[in-house]
Structures are given as C-alpha cells and as structure tokens.
C-alpha cells in the first residue's frame, strides 16, 4: 500500500506547528525507517498514518483513497509498540488468534493462520507457553505476528527494539527485515538509532523539529546528505566537522563559486587515506596522534591543520605515529553554509593541496 502525505501540517493549538508541510510518498511493499532525535516528529507522523491523529491541514492517501478523516479502525493498519501490549494470561497461540477472534473469523481458519504466523516469526516452540516464559525478543515476535493476523495494509512499528539488549536488537532487526520481505507488507519503522535504520530499511526518512530533512535510499542519505544535520545524524563514527579555515587553501578549487558561502566542512572517518589515489582528491598534512584497535575495528586520532578528527580505515602498512601526508577524495568532502545547507563541490581532475 502506497502512503502519500500532501502538504500535511499538525498543530495542537492552531498556532504552533508540530509538523511542517510534510509532502512525501512512501512506496508500496517497502520497509521505511522514520529516523530522527526525540521530539523530531517520528511517532507523531506514525500516529497520523494510523489515524490516531488527524492533520490540521493537508491530506493523507492510502493508494488513491483519501483517508484524512477516516477512523483508525477502518484504515486496516497493524501496529507494534515499544511495549508489546500482549495479554500475559494468554498463550502465544491465543495472543496471535485474539484479533481474528474479535473479527469473528471461523475457528479453523484462525487456528491455521495463527500457526502459519507463528512459524513465520519463529515462535512455534513456544506456541503453548504463557508470555512470562518468553524472552523480550520472543515477545516482540509474538506482537508482530498478532499485528499481521489482521492482514494489515500497513505494518507500523514504533521503536519496537528499544527494550531489547544489544544482541537481541541485532537479531530482531534482521528478523523484521526477513518478515517484511516474506509478507511484502508496506512497513514503517520508527527509530532514533541510525544503525538500525541503515541495516533494516529500504529507504530512510530523516525528521527533525517536525520537518522532513531528507527521504531516500539508505546509501544515498549516507553518501549524499542534503544538509549538515543528515550528514551528522547518519554514520558511525560521527561525521568529522571542522571550520572551513582548516582547508581554506583547497576550498576554492573544490567548491568554485560556492566556496564563499561555506563555513564548515564535513569528512567521514573512512575517507582518509595514507596513499595517493587516482580519483580527484586533496592532499593534506596530518599528524597521527593515536591508533587504537577494537577487534576488527580501529580508531585513528589525527590532527588536521590543528583540528582533531577521527579516521578508521587507513592502510595499516603506512600507519605510524607522527606527521605525514593524508589524502581525501573530493567527493567525500561536504561543504555547509552558516545554516547547515549543503554546498556542492565542482569536481576537478586536479589534485588540490591544503
């Protein structure tokens, strides 16, 4: 089911807008992550989709149907929350069956369907157990199965992994991805964790202060962020942000006429190299202050013209403490103006020296 917002705003007091002019299309059959900080508008957007809230202005469509004023019960959505909202006195099977029982689906059909869903979410071994015997991850699987039992046109997941430990979070995000692919149900997943969003979603919508900052494929948001907020919010380690003065002599050659607008530069940790490269790049004097290893990961603390930055993928055979020359591809240097808007590079085939 395709979901469209057409210039949707939300205000509780008709003065201060919570959501601002939201205009987007969520494609059918995809898994979409709503990503942003607390208070950014993620859950509020989800509640507008579900029908728990109605917009102050604008329209919401499911496919070609205008559902702006439609009651939540008539929208045919399934919801899973951070707190699973299951019935502790019922077994796994009875929890999955419950919404079908309320819909007066014949007993034999609901039994068969519940068993199929239990198999899909991999809780068959626990099918006759009460919830107290289940782990948090198993309870979340049951909640997803129960939401799917209603055959929803949309599956809405509001911070579904927040109560799980780190290992279970990784396991369940892969399970959510597998279940979405298996069912083909359009799924909208709210999270504040950019790592979850990058791993689970086909596309990510980044929200902040009730405004859609950027909406697109996961890799596009990582490699081609539209502004400083998106660039800093997505990626681990966090984007290195330095004053334009750190690379002032190279900025004109990289950004051309846009250079005068730039106040800050962003460089991702993996962009730094200790070897020259064939692609357009800048050459920078750096100083390696510290090299740390964390299993397969590494962290390299650098000084770049007096500013501290972090690298994580520099060639090990060239690594040693002290002053050396570093290289960064031009297409991995982001320029931002005073308001955090992106200024794009004018690609040059010549090496730039900082």
CA distance 208 to 237: 20
What is the reported pLDDT for 14? 78
Residue 12: Cβ-neighbour burial (10 angstroms; 0-12, 13-18, 19+): exposed
Q: What is the pTM of this model?
A: 0.87
CA 48-49-53 angle, 5° bins: 25
What is the reported pLDDT for 348? 47
User: The tokens of 175 are what?
Assistant: 């399970």
From residue 270, alpha-carbon distances to 146, 227, 228, 237, 274 in Å are 42, 19, 18, 9, 11
Count Cα atoms within 13 angstroms, Cβ side, for 345. 21
Residues in the chain with pLDDT values less than 50: 348-351
- Other C-beta atoms closer than 10 Å to the C-beta of 323 total 9
- Domains of the chain as residue ranges with CATH: 3-223 (3.40.50.300), 237-348 (2.40.50.140)
Using DSSP's 3-state secondary structure scheme, residue 262 falls into: coil
What is the reported pLDDT for 296? 76
Is the backbone peptide bond immediately before 26 cis, with ω within 30 degrees of 0?
Answer: no
CA distance 270 to 273: 8
Q: Which residues of 62-91 are buried (b: 16+ CB within 10 A; e: fewer)?
A: beeeebbeeebeebbbbbbbbebebeeeeb
User: The tokens of 322 are what?
Assistant: 């002290």
What is the reported pLDDT for 349? 40
Spatial CA neighbour of 97 closest among 112, 85, 78, 114: 114
CA distance 349 to 317: 27
What is the reported pLDDT for 317? 62
* CB proximity list for 328: less than 8 A, separation 6 or greater: 267, 271, 272, 273, 281, 282, 284
User: The tokens of 115 are what?
Assistant: 């068993």
């Amino acid at each position: 089911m395709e979901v469209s917002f057409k210039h949707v705003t939300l205000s509780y007091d008709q003065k201060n807008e919570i959501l601002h002019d939201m205009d987007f299309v969520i494609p059918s059959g995809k898994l979409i992550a709503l990503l942003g900080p607390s208070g950014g508008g993620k859950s509020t957007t989800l509640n507008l989709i579900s029908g728990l809230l109605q917009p102050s202005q604008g329209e919401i469509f499911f496919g070609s149907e205008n559902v702006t004023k439609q009651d939540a019960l008539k929208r045919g959505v399934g919801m899973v929350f951070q707190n699973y909202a299951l019935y502790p006195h019922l077994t796994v099977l009875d929890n999955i069956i419950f919404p079908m029982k309320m819909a007066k689906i014949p007993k034999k059909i609901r039994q068969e369907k519940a068993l199929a869903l239990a198999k899909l979410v991999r809780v068959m071994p626990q099918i006759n157990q009460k919830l107290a015997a289940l782990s948090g991850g198993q309870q979340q699987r049951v909640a997803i199965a129960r939401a799917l039992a209603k055959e929803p046109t949309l599956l809405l997941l509001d911070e579904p992994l927040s109560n799980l430990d780190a290992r279970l979070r990784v396991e369940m995000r892969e399970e959510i991805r597998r279940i979405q692919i298996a069912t083909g149900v359009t799924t909208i997943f709210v999270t504040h964790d950019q790592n979850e969003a990058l791993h689970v979603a086909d596309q990510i919508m980044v929200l902040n202060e009730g405004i859609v900052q950027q909406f697109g494929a996961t890799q596009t948001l990582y490699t081609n962020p539209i502004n400083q907020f998106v660039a800093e919010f997505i990626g681990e380690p966090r984007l290195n942000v330095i004053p334009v003065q750190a690379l002032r002599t190279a900025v004109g050659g990289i950004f051309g006429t846009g250079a005068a607008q730039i106040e800050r530069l962003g460089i991702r940790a993996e962009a730094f190299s200790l070897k020259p490269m064939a692609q357009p790049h800048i050459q920078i004097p750096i100083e390696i202050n510290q090299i740390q290893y964390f299993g397969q990961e590494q962290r390299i603390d650098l000084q770049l013209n007096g500013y501290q930055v972090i690298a994580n993928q520099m060639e090990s055979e060239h690594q040693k403490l002290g002053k050396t020359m570093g290289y960064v591809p031009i297409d991995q240097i982001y320029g931002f103006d005073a308001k955090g808007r992106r200024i794009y590079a004018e690609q040059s085939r010549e090496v730039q020296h900082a």
